[in-house]
Structure 1
Amino acid sequence: MAAFKTHCCVAGGGPAGMVLGLLLARAGVDVVVLEKHADFLRDFRGDTIHPSTLDVLADIGLLDRFLALPHQQVQTLTGYVEDEPFVIADFRRLKLARPYIALLPQWDFLDFLAEEAARLPTFRLMRRAEVKGLTRRDGKVTGVVAETPEGSLEVAADLVVGADGRRSTVRSAAGFEIERIGAPMDIMWFRLPRKETDGSATGGRFSVAGLLVTIYRGDYWQAALVIPKGGADAVRAQGLAAFKERVARLAPFAADGRLDAIGDWDQVSVLSVAVDRLKRWHAPGVLCIGDAAHAMSPVGGVGINLAIQDAVATGNLLAARLRNGAVSDEDLARVQERRMFPTRVTQAIQLAVQNRVISPTLSARERLSPPLALRLMRRFPALTAIPARLVGVGIRPERVTAAAIATPS
């Protein structure tokens, strides 16, 4: 079995894992990121880069290079209730240097992070390296065992970070207890060709016919049909034609033949929505962050933002300790202590939206009326800054601290 040693081994090359790897490498920490796939090309992943993440990129001098990538900028979020539009969030009302959400395929973002990190001598990304378990000594996690095309690999590390998503191998192997909160819906993702006459408003369409989210992506819409939990088989059983008819009722602009672009069910991906969090994120030698520590509802699209904020907090709190090869369980506890509060508050807000907005919409039998909150935001537009802050900035945003994260020479 091949083997090597590192300061920090990160399982998972998603946003949390890649941002943490980049930040630690900038601080002079020897870090390896293990990614089980050969590339980052997975469709219908979170493609939103929030203002708080743009601030992080600015902190480390990468914002201009990032913004040179092809992307769209979303300044407002719009909700349609039976085709009547309401501005839900207006990022322009926030006192931010970049008052918008940047949209680009997640694989482009991850490739960008990988290219920047590869410039650093202490960073290593290993693709097609799937973590299968943890190694231990005297009750402490000492590394991971992974499978690669060349065979088994053992990576010894002062710290293992599980950033391997909501089906995390690390959290399972560590025996962490999961608090399952639940969600009333699943999502069917697909693409729709876009025409200039459609406009560019990103948002949700609420109707007695159901709930559809459309995200502006330049020449196409990334669309999500929200369905009752476990309802994907029932939707498929009704047939593709019925599915397209339902989408056309929710988005009348698409009833012009463009739905013919969906030729079979292979073009529709199902996301099983889960909301949960670990009661304890850490044990000696191991820490979980991002979806591995707290699976978020897709409400607000804030999961990627929270995962990156976890990574920044981890870098800020642990970089110096890792550089010296001495990370205690108390150090890891400080990461959870800092990030548990925003996790709990964000999930509570998401649950309120699920219970008070999404569930009633999915079970509606009569045309919907605009709720009081939307009517108030229309009358008092300044109120749209509140959801804009919750979505764009979040609870307790993190900034890269100069004392913890060094600038590469």
Structure 2
Amino acid sequence: MTGVGRGGDEYDVVISGASLAGSAAAALLARQGARVALLERRSDPGAYKVLCTHSITANARPVLAELGLVPALEALGAPSNDARWWTRWGWIEPKAAPGGPALPLGFNVRRSTLDPLVRARAAETDGVDLLLGHKVTGLLREGGRTVGVRAQAPDGEGELRARLVVGADGKDSTVAKLAGVPGREHANGRFGYLAQYRGLPLPGGIGQVWFLEPDMAYAFPNEDGVTVLAVLPGKRRLPAFREDLEGSFDAFVRGLPEAPPIEGAERISKIIGTVDYPLHSRRSAAPGLALIGDAALTGDPLWGVGCGWALESAHWLAGTVGPALVGRAGLDQAVAAYGKLHRRRLTGHQFFAADFAKGRPFNPVERMVFAAAARDAGAARHMYHYAARLIGPARFLGPAALARAAAVNLRHRRAS
């Protein structure tokens, strides 16, 4: 299909945004029998998000597996995203327990590789119409619920009617704005710049993350021998970066503990970034409407969880509303169930991310758990499971975990 119908084409679902969340949701819903219109404002099927951590946390690997994309990513050379984290107490180096299962890992992969791959998987799924160059300009409303969209297509404007409209159109979601979805914005006390390098060796060939309190940095190996290097300083450093971006970027990297040797590497991209990246939290469900990915919740990029949550939220949506779409009953209740699930799974994560985004040093509890993770293999594994979003804040900072961290630190003080 190449355009929106003048008489209002009928679908089960219209999804605005064919990036990770939208494409994954389209494929997963269509596999259940739904007819899906997947709208993408850009006309290029190879379009991709430029500003990104370029890493997928382990929580999303099951979604990639369900989409059948793990073998493709491995064939493309996307490395697993194991990493070590520098702190003032030393390096935290998560490893599997002796004789225990391997740590679940995600992938480091550039969006120029990932986005077209996931979009193509959606486009080849029976029941999905990928409509490139289609921009949502309005919502259709009847009886207090959303029943479709108005969209500008390459050949004119028209309407698409659907039982469910899904906003997967990013942190500045047009769908959310048109629907008047309530939300909350959290200021970010850091800014960020990144660049891609070839020939940049990293210890162990794995990712490196620096917690400099409050500044941050990371270096992640990606496919094709490329390393993504990012700096996320507190905004007190912004004037220097504005005056001399390249000089400030290089000086920041050279000042890192065990700094990556950028002098001997080839920078193959511009230094790109943003000086203002607030966190957004929106209500993710309303009658006839759902938000997924960054449209529902935009986290702090320093944690690298955006891709993982985009894929997970698409999976949650498909799991809750898919049966109702096919059964043609109870859809609004299913959408509400998705909203509750999204809120339950991510509100705690966002609360702590928004607090740390203030650009402050570690608080006493953070000092305790990070110090313990640098000194104890079990504490390091526990922290990894939280960083990979395999456990939530309640378990990460539960009484047993805090007691263990306190005991580790006490033993360290006694020994020293």
TM-score w.r.t. the length of structure 1 is 0.82
Alignment match of 1:184 (pick from 163, 177, 189): 189
Alignment of 1:99-248 (within 5 A): 99-196=104-201, 199-207=204-212, 210-217=215-222, 219-229=225-235, 232=238, 234-238=240-244, 240-248=246-254
Question: What is the match of residue 303 of structure 1?
Answer: 306
Relative distance call for 1:239 and 1:385 in structure 2 (3 A) is closer
Cα separation, 2, equivalents of 1:303 and 1:94 = 32
Question: What is the match of residue 48 of structure 2?
Answer: 41
What is the root-mean-square deviation in Å for CA atoms of aligned residues?
3.1
Cα separation, 2, equivalents of 1:12 and 1:290 = 10
The answer to whether residue 346 in structure 2 is matched with residue 343 in structure 1 is yes
Cα separation, 2, equivalents of 1:210 and 1:253 = 14
Alignment of 1:24-39 (within 5 A): 24-37=29-42, 38=44, 39=46
How far apart are residue 198 of structure 1 and its match?
Answer: 5.4
Question: What is the match of residue 395 of structure 2?
Answer: none
Cα separation, 2, equivalents of 1:147 and 1:190 = 35
SS of residue paired to 1:25: helix
Question: What is the match of residue 77 of structure 2?
Answer: 70
Question: What is the match of residue 366 of structure 1?
Answer: none
Question: What is the match of residue 407 of structure 1?
Answer: none
Question: What is the match of residue 410 of structure 2?
Answer: none
Question: What is the match of residue 382 of structure 2?
Answer: 386
Question: What is the match of residue 365 of structure 1?
Answer: none
Question: What is the match of residue 402 of structure 1?
Answer: none
SS of residue paired to 1:57: helix
SS of residue paired to 2:139: strand
SS of residue paired to 2:191: strand
The answer to whether residue 36 in structure 2 is matched with residue 58 in structure 1 is no
Q: Check the 8 A contact 2:18/2:119 in 1, yes or no.
A: no
Question: What is the match of residue 371 of structure 2?
Answer: 375
Aligned identity (percent) is 21
Cα separation, 1, equivalents of 2:148 and 2:74 = 36
Deviations 1:188-210 (A, max 9, x none): 12223333365523132244894
Question: What is the match of residue 360 of structure 2?
Answer: 359
Structure 2: gaps (5+ residues): 393-416
Cα separation, 2, equivalents of 1:230 and 1:326 = 54
Aligned residues: 381
How far apart are residue 86 of structure 1 and its match?
Answer: 0.7
How far apart are residue 31 of structure 1 and its match?
Answer: 0.5
Cα separation, 2, equivalents of 1:162 and 1:34 = 10
Relative distance call for 1:191 and 1:60 in structure 2 (3 A) is closer
Alignment of 1:317-332 (within 5 A): 317-326=320-329, 328-332=331-335
Q: Check the 8 A contact 1:342/1:395 in 2, yes or no.
A: no
Alignment of 1:263-302 (within 5 A): 267-270=271-274, 272-278=276-282, 280-302=283-305
How far apart are residue 274 of structure 1 and its match?
Answer: 1.7
Q: Check the 8 A contact 2:171/2:294 in 1, yes or no.
A: yes
SS of residue paired to 2:242: helix
SS of residue paired to 1:196: coil
How far apart are residue 80 of structure 1 and its match?
Answer: 4.9
Look up the equivalent residue of 2:360 and give its one-letter code.
S
Deviations 1:344-368 (A, max 9, x none): 111123235445xx5238xxxxxxx
Cα separation, 2, equivalents of 1:78 and 1:208 = 13
Q: Check the 8 A contact 2:9/2:161 in 1, yes or no.
A: yes
TM-score w.r.t. the length of structure 2 is 0.81
